[in-house]
Structure 1
Amino acid sequence: MDTQTSVAPRRVPWNKGKLVGQKAPLRISEIWAIRVRLEIYGRLRDLALFNLAIDSKLRGCDLVRLRVLDICHGAHVAHRASVIQQKTKQPVQFELTEGTRQSVSTWIATANLRNSDYLFPSRIADSPHISTRQYARIVRQWFDEIGLDPTAYATHTMRRTKPTLIYRRTKNLRAVQLLLGHTKLESTVRYLGIEVDDALEIAEQTDA
């Protein structure tokens, strides 16, 4: 008598064919490729959002909740701003470059935003500002338009870009830790993808 043994279907891992882990930061050439494209096509909101994301190094959840008054002093965009991070409840400061201040100022004037308004209001009636999901879609569009692999880049790419560029130039872990608002140096080490032994040696040299 023949017996049949049922074989359970093999489950496909959720991450098969996908790149997981840290997302790559943008190179300087890629930053300018996106920036110039947004300028040429007059996408004022996206240009302000892109520049502010790079300069602020904020997580998406903090970036989309920014109000005009968070980065403006009266009618002028400030050179430096400070916000409370939603995840850590700790304040973090960031500087706004001239290009970012100009693009944000142009967007505020064009959108006729008041001080109490969100910087990036949503077009959806029941949402006061763009959601993190909307932000992710916008970011993916930027990357797609210059031919970047969407599996290797994401919203966290925006947060990682400037700290990575600064670290490569200065090797100053403590400065990057402050810029990112990390409470532990180990978090910054993991964030930048640095070998632990190398990071500790660099930190000791910096503190010396």
Structure 2
Amino acid sequence: MEEMKVRKNQIIELSIKDLVDKFIAAQDVAKSSRQIYQRELRQFINWLESTDRIETLNSLAREDILQYKRDLIKSQMSSYTISSYITVVRKFFQWLESEKIYPNITQNIKGMKKPKGHKKNCLTVDQIREALNSINREDLNGKRNYAIFNLLVRTGLRTVEVARVNVGDIRQKSDQAVLYIQGKGRDQKDDFVILTKEALKPIRDYLAARGDIIGEQEPLFISHSNRNYGKGLTTRSIRRVIKGILKEIGLNTTRYSAHSLRHTAITLAIKGGASLQQTQAMARHSDPKTTMIYYHNLNRVEEGAEKKIKI
């Protein structure tokens, strides 16, 4: 304890920002995770500054972390976001304690309970067809947008995965076209989704319309605006494209977004008879329990006890 008290003063000698930098440098995680840690600890630092706690950092206690959590809840952030912020703060104080700089005042402070089910709605098959039919494919933007929407709803890819894809990532595996991807939290393109003929053809049509010789290292989906021509679409741009298509068919609520297409693909795969293992592989869920949520939700609706009530 004496050693801890002496070294506790280091949190005064070093600014909180310096400590955060040292903490991040010490983490054996992917670059994307480091960026998340940096962003989410910036939120914590901003809160410390706004509440004048940064001036009394050496006396920061467990109650202060609980107040931070309460303030996050008041801000109406999602439970996922709040849990992520709290988790990173816990990791930070665990590291401070391991370095004998400051005691871990976050012990037993929990994140938020995950909500049951999913926050985004799925699309029906009719809605998917209406959305695809609403896209004007006479120009490059239309061909691209059609290919993206169609790809998402047939593979369950995340927007970040689509943004990372290059032309050369379309390959053949056992006579089957596949798309190699860099999954969530991964450092390399070491996973793939299957490209059925229906998923591949719009992509081929779009690439053919781009013309010229397209290098394998070029982004699969690019901007065709004068300002950013040739640059790969960002996740924000992809989300905006999908949101625009959904709005076009009247699905203009927060319950529908690009992530809805991922939920839709997984749900349709299960309805089509895919096994748990097959669905988990397509969705790239690390834990089968995550995949099981989809099965549970479908069974709950299709076999609901309420349907047995006869009045």
Q: TM-score, normalised by structure 1?
A: 0.73
- CA–CA distance in structure 2, aligned partners of residues 126 and 100 of structure 1: 25
Partner of 1:144: 247
- CA–CA distance in structure 2, aligned partners of residues 161 and 175 of structure 1: 16
Correspondence 1:195-206 to 2 at 5 A: none
Q: Deviations over 1:161-203 (max 9, x none)?
A: 121011123262222111111111112234x2726x98xxxxx
Instruction: Say if 1:168 and 1:100 are closer, same or farther in 2 by CA, change over 3 A.
Output: closer
| Residue pair 2:280, 2:291 contacting (<8 A) in 1 also | yes
- CA–CA distance in structure 1, aligned partners of residues 253 and 205 of structure 2: 29
Partner of 1:103: 202
Q: CA deviation at 1:149?
A: 3.4
Partner of 2:161: 62
Instruction: Say if 1:41 and 1:151 are closer, same or farther in 2 by CA, change over 3 A.
Output: farther
Question: Is 1:47 equivalent to 2:146 in the alignment?
Answer: yes
Task: Give the 3-state SS of the residue equivalent to 1:194 in structure 2.
Answer: helix
Question: Is 1:194 equivalent to 2:292 in the alignment?
Answer: no
Partner of 1:118: 219
Q: Using the aligned pairs only, state the percent identity.
A: 21
- CA–CA distance in structure 2, aligned partners of residues 63 and 40 of structure 1: 20
Instruction: Say if 1:100 and 1:168 are closer, same or farther in 2 by CA, change over 3 A.
Output: closer
2:180 to 69, 72, 82: 82
Task: Give the 3-state SS of the residue equivalent to 2:272 in structure 1.
Answer: helix
| Residue pair 2:130, 2:249 contacting (<8 A) in 1 also | yes
Q: TM-score, normalised by structure 2?
A: 0.51
- CA–CA distance in structure 2, aligned partners of residues 169 and 103 of structure 1: 22
Q: Structure 2: 5+ residue runs without aligned partners?
A: 1-73, 78-114, 301-311
1:14 to 76, 101, 109: 76
- CA–CA distance in structure 2, aligned partners of residues 55 and 133 of structure 1: 20
Instruction: Say if 1:110 and 1:185 are closer, same or farther in 2 by CA, change over 3 A.
Output: same
Structure in which a larger fraction of residues adopt helix:
2
Amino acid at match of 1:156: H
Q: Structure 1: 5+ residue runs without aligned partners?
A: 1-11, 199-208
Most deviating of 101-110 and 169-178: 169-178
CA RMSD of aligned residues (A): 3.0
| Residue pair 1:140, 1:150 contacting (<8 A) in 2 also | no
Instruction: Say if 1:32 and 1:61 are closer, same or farther in 2 by CA, change over 3 A.
Output: same
Amino acid at match of 2:236: R
Specify which structure has the bigger relative contact order, considering alpha-carbon pairs within 8 angstroms and separated by 6 or more residues.
1
Larger radius of gyration: 2
- CA–CA distance in structure 1, aligned partners of residues 170 and 276 of structure 2: 26
1:172 to 262, 265, 275: 275
2:124 to 27, 32, 47: 27
- CA–CA distance in structure 1, aligned partners of residues 156 and 171 of structure 2: 17
| Residue pair 1:182, 1:188 contacting (<8 A) in 2 also | yes
- CA–CA distance in structure 2, aligned partners of residues 116 and 37 of structure 1: 31
Task: Give the 3-state SS of the residue equivalent to 1:22 in structure 2.
Answer: coil
| Residue pair 1:143, 1:150 contacting (<8 A) in 2 also | no
